[in-house]
Amino acid sequence: MTQIHSFDIEKDNTRGRKWSPYGQGGAGGPSAVFFSTTAGRVYSMFCLALLIFYFAVQRILIVEDSGDEFSSKRDDSGGWANQPVISSSGISNGGSMKEGWHTPIDHQRAQSLPVSNMIGTADVEMRESDLLMVISPLVSVPSHPRIEYEMYQGEPSSDDSTATVYSDDILYDMQTPHGMAFDFLLNRDKRPISSDESQIIQRFVLSLLFYATGGKDEVSPPESEKRSSGWDSSLAHFLTGLHECHWVKKSLEDQFWGILSIERDNDRRVGVTKCNSDMEVTEIRLADLNLIGFIPEEIKLLSKLESLDVQNNHLTGPIPVALGELDVLRYLSLDGNNFSGTIPDVFYDLSRLERAYLNFNDFVGAMPPSFCNLREEGVLKDLWSDCGGFPITCTCCTVCCDVVAQCNKMESQREGG
């Protein structure tokens, strides 16, 4: 006891006081009790915190595992980029197109998939079926020879010279603009598919127009990556997750004048430059964008189109006969391209057409009576063509050009310009 006492209570050599390592109360005093009680509480709280942290981590791991199995079908843009799709190599992400077109659903393979994948497969199959039902009857094969459509041309149906019995095959052929447009809507479009059939058709036609005129993106055929011409979707904000009425962008010219803070009277935006209150496309301007390829016959499905401007590009083939069905068209600018053949006589119903520019192309023959009738009726105010000597004969044109650069306003109608 004497040794314990001498250990617990010692004298402070400097002040002559008794010093205790446990405080003023000594080993058994109030401070010792307080210290031991506090340490116990701290230890208990620490253990409780560890326990809570352990269960929280376990919960997070369970949620993550569940999220991988039952992942959301929509991405942040409201689209279907994360939706699983059955391809020839199994399940793949709908946003990845490294192996080209996804083949139709393999039901025997799908039966062996997990429940979550089966749910995604059913959604994809339903969407695919719905799209085919709407789009397939509308497919038109180009009337002029094109290598990507070679195997489908020459087999028209009995009731429509532009329709084909190969509609479904074309939509699944990623070498064709139709196939790439259909694939975009089914697998890569970040905008949820509309329940409105007319909106589906409009979005498909604009996507088809993009690919048919040389539009390039990540799924374009390998040979298109080597070509120097064509245009990128970013030039007019095409193929974005926005509504197609917002597929529009200021031109480089507008941006230049904007930097200089100079206002311009002319609207030089490119893309879908105007829609009506029902979100139907009424104006398309794709001038000076280095377009190549052709204008698809499906352009006629944009029934509210009032203005089409594709001047100063490299488009080829004949004028689409379908343009004659755009009965509300007011402005048509095809000048400065490589269109060829004769101008079709299909414009009788374009009773609102005020301006048509067909100059600086490779047309031959005579201006069709349908255009001249519109001139005589006083509807068509401007009609330009290459009638300055050859190769077009026009008695009703307002301006005749010489195919190269010179254009002259006609004071009177005269044979051969």
DSSP letters, 42-54, are HHHHHHHHHHHHH
| Mean pLDDT across the chain | 75
Question: Which residue, 188, 198, 277, is CA-closest to 238?
Answer: 188
**Residues whose CB is less than 8 angstroms from the CB of residue 35 and which lie 6 or more positions away in sequence, other chains included:** 22, 23
User: Which of 192, 186, 218 has its CA nearest to residue 105?
Assistant: 186
Burial 39-57 (b: 16+ CB within 10 A, else e): eeeeeeeeeeeeeeeeeee
Question: CA 129, CA 121: separation in Å to the nearest integer?
Answer: 12
Q: Is the peptide bond before 145 cis (omega within 30 degrees of 0)?
A: no
Nearest C-alpha neighbor of 285 from the set 235, 241, 345, 327: 235
pLDDT at 347: 96
Q: Which residues, listed in sequence order, are joined to residue 215 by a DSSP beta bridge?
A: 231
Cβ(260)–Cβ(275) under 8 Å? no
User: Mean pLDDT, to the nearest integer, of 66-84?
Assistant: 37
> Alpha-carbon distance 124 to 131, whole Å?
11
Longest dimension (CA), the chain: 138
DSSP secondary structure string for all residues of 156-195: B-SS-TT-BTTHHHHHT-TTSHHHHHHHIIIII--SPPPS
Say whether pTM exceeds 0.75: no
Whole-number Å distance between alpha carbons of 343 and 351: 18
Model confidence pLDDT, tens digit, residues 110-140: 444 454 444 455 556 668 988 999 999 999 9
Note the pLDDT tens digit of each residue in 263-286: 555 667 899 999 999 999 999 999
Confidence of residue 37 (pLDDT cuts 50, 70, 90): low
- pLDDT range class, residue 294, cuts 50, 70, 90: very high
The pLDDT assigned to 86 comes to: 32
> How does residue 155 score in pLDDT terms, banded at 50, 70 and 90?
low
Where is average pLDDT lowest: 29-43, 182-196, 208-222, 313-327?
A: 29-43
The answer on pLDDT for 374 being more than 80 is yes
Nearest to 389 by CA among 350, 354, 359: 359
**Which range (102-106, 258-262, 295-299, 362-366) has the least confidence?**
102-106
What's the confidence (pLDDT) of residue 250? 76
